[in-house]
Amino acid sequence: MMDDHKNDPGKKMRILLAGDKTSPLSRLPKKANAGSFLPQKTEKKAETPDVPPSKNEAPHASSSPKPASKGNIHRFGPPFWTIASILSLTINVILIIILLVLWLNLRTLNINVGTIINMGNGLLGGLYTNFEKMDRAHITTTIPIETTIPVKFDLQLSQKTNVVLSQAVTIDNALVTVKTGGLNITNALTTIVLPQGTILPIELNLTVPVDKTVPVSLNVQVDIPLEQTQLHEPFSGLQEVVKPFYCLLNPAALNMGGQPVCK
């Protein structure tokens, strides 16, 4: 019987499979650095069993966030400092070239520092003085006025005057008293004729309505000082803008009134 078990290969295979739980394929020799056509499974880390939190303990997240990698920072640093250094050197070289060109031009044109200061003093002084003149200026002109004015009112007349008859006037049934040397007539009714040109004293007492349009034509003289208008503020502001630079070049500057500008 023992010989039969030994000679039966199927029984030997079953005994091997039953006695050893590992796969017999794992015992086969493997080639070094041999790739497999099957996808390799990643090894899973042993997971800790879920332990319920205690009453005094707050529940924690299952996985904590991974710290940020410093590789990106190390890769970003050297290029940044390289570019910044190149830009700084380029700007310095450009500024040096500009200064050299200015220095050479100053020597070629024979312009010294005193001449430049005098030019700046004249320019700033001219600006300050002209702004001051504009602030103290007056607008003087003549404005012609051509218009019409409506006139409407009641004119009260109460006065004594003399009138002249423009023609002969007949007065009927006038009471006349005549006293002569041989004839006396008292309060007799008669008809009187007043000839043209007779002067009669009268007394006027009446209201005359006036409703007319009167034409007006005159010239009006205008004199407006600008320092009393809204232009005073911008002119003063322009003087204050120029004043610091003007005082830097000419600390003893005087205004139009003889007062020091730099106080």
On whether residue 161 sits in a domain, the answer given is: yes
Interstrand relation of 199-225 and 169-179 (parallel, antiparallel or unpaired): unpaired
Cα separations in angstroms, 74 against 32, 86, 103, 158: 36, 20, 45, 114
Asked if residue 212 belongs to a domain, the reply is yes
Q: Is residue 167 situated within a structural domain?
A: yes
Residue 156 covered by a domain:
yes
- Largest Cα separation within the chain, whole Å, is 218
Q: Has residue 45 been placed in a domain? A: no
Can you list the residues of the chain whose pLDDT is less than 70?
1-13, 15-77, 106-116
The predicted pLDDT at position 64 comes to: 47
Backbone angles phi, psi at 242, to 5 degrees: -80, -25
Tell whether 54 is covered by a domain.
no
What digits encode the pLDDT tens for the residues 119-142? Answer: 777 888 888 899 899 989 999 999
| pTM, full prediction | 0.38
Q: Domain total for the chain? A: 1
List the domain range (segments joined by +) for residue 163. 142-180+200-221
Whether 208 is covered by a domain: the verdict is yes
Closest to 201 measured CA to CA, from 164, 244, 154: 164
> Does the residue 160 lie in any domain?
yes
